[in-house]
Amino acid sequence: MTSASTHGVSRDAGAADPAPSLMDALVRSLDFNRAPKSGENVHGEGYKEWLHFCVRAGSLDLLVNFSAVQEGERAFRTIVLLREDGGRWRGDIARIDPRRVAMPGGRVGLRFAESEVRFSNGRYNLRVHCEALALIAELSLVPMVIPAQTLNMEVRDGPPHNWAIIPRLCANGFIQVGDARHEVRDAPSYHDHNWGTFQWGGDFAWEWGYAIPDDPACPWCVVAVRFADRGHAQGLAQGLFLWKGARQARIFRGEQAQVSHDGLFRGDLVKLPPVMGLLRPGAATDVPARYEMLGRDGPDELRLRFTPSEVAQVMIPNDTPSGMTIIHEVAGRFEVDGVVFGERVRFGGGGVFEFLGS
């Protein structure tokens, strides 16, 4: 893994938060659209780019993903997943008419039909309209940490993958589902932006998750990521990232991080789009019943445990001749515990992890 701005360890995590104007500039420098809006195939077949948002608003979990994929022509899709009162995921995948898409290259933000992401004055304004779920959300998300990016993550049989991340934002606004309007106040949220040229069905898989504490006063948050071969057997790159306040506080990478899967998740699986359930019926999945990443380096140790509770399978026909790739969006509870630079780190909460499988 080659990292541009996440190298090393920051010992000044307690320093003053950056000014809003600096945060605004940092976001604009990292979270811009890499693909031009035009349908020109400038990045080549298989180029993929998506913006991903997760909002945990009390009893609601909302996941929104805007993706642009080069599959012959450019195809634009909005994925919306919603979970209410700890229940099952409900979701929709909508293919968006390219004539109703604006995703200007070099700019932060996009418009996919009635949904859009705008960025101004240091905050994201996210509007989501999902007819299938009778959902309208209007949220303002303020980054609470300095964004980071990880470039050139190795994918075994293709060009590298790239990732810009803001692991902790604060969301305000509302989410309306049918006639029920949910006010969102200071909801912990997550955002990332991915791009790269690769084939679904290639010899790779990923696991990632974020851990934002339920307690808004807790300064810590964590992201775990692992790239592996398609069977999840051989790690290619992995990292456990810890932030304190706005700044990155500690990174465990490579051999400093160890991943373990325990058991297999057993429970109902929500399949999207539903028709893909015909190709992969049943409840078998390789999502672990318990997931753990342990970072250890010298006296520092940090352990992230995640226990899945609900799984949605976003099922994608492979770009390769046959088969499918399944992106598991997994809601659950996490616990983080450890000692970093002599300071105890301990918090828990609800989060969404993602396991890519086949």
Partner 1 sequence: MSVFALVGEAFLSSSGADTQNAFREFLEASLTLIDADVRDRYDAMLSRLNARAVVVDVDGERLALIPTARALEIGTASAEQLPILRTTGGVIVALLDGDLELGTALRENRLRLRGASSDLIAFHSALMAYLEGCVRASGMDRLLSRYRGAVDARTKT
Residues forming the site for partner 1 (CB under 8 A): 71-73, 75, 94-95, 271, 273-279, 281-282, 315-317, 321-322, 324
Torsion of CA 281, 284, 286, 288, to 10 degrees: 130
CA distances from 52 to 20, 77, 86 (A): 22, 12, 21
User: Between residues 242 and 269, which has the closer beta carbon with respect to partner 1?
Assistant: 269
Least Å distance between CB 103 and partner 1? 17
Round the CA-based radius of gyration of the chain to a whole number and report it: 19
User: Between residues 97 and 214, which has the closer beta carbon with respect to partner 1?
Assistant: 97
Least Å distance between CB 75 and partner 1? 7
Least Å distance between CB 278 and partner 1? 6
User: Between residues 327 and 336, which has the closer beta carbon with respect to partner 1?
Assistant: 327
Least Å distance between CB 222 and partner 1? 34
Tell the burial category of 307 from Cβ atoms under 10 Å away from its Cβ (0-12, 13-18, 19+): middle
Least Å distance between CB 58 and partner 1? 28
CB 355 within 8 A of CB 287: yes
Q: What are phi and psi for residue 254, nearest 5 degrees?
A: 55, -125
User: Between residues 39 and 263, which has the closer beta carbon with respect to partner 1?
Assistant: 39
Least Å distance between CB 274 and partner 1? 3
CA proximity to 124, closest of 162, 92, 63, 166: 166
CB 18 within 8 A of CB 146: yes
User: Between residues 60 and 316, which has the closer beta carbon with respect to partner 1?
Assistant: 316
Quick check: helix, strand or coil at residue 318?
coil
User: Between residues 178 and 322, which has the closer beta carbon with respect to partner 1?
Assistant: 322
Q: Which residues contact 280 (CB under 8 A, 6 or more apart)?
A: 271, 313, 315, 324, 326
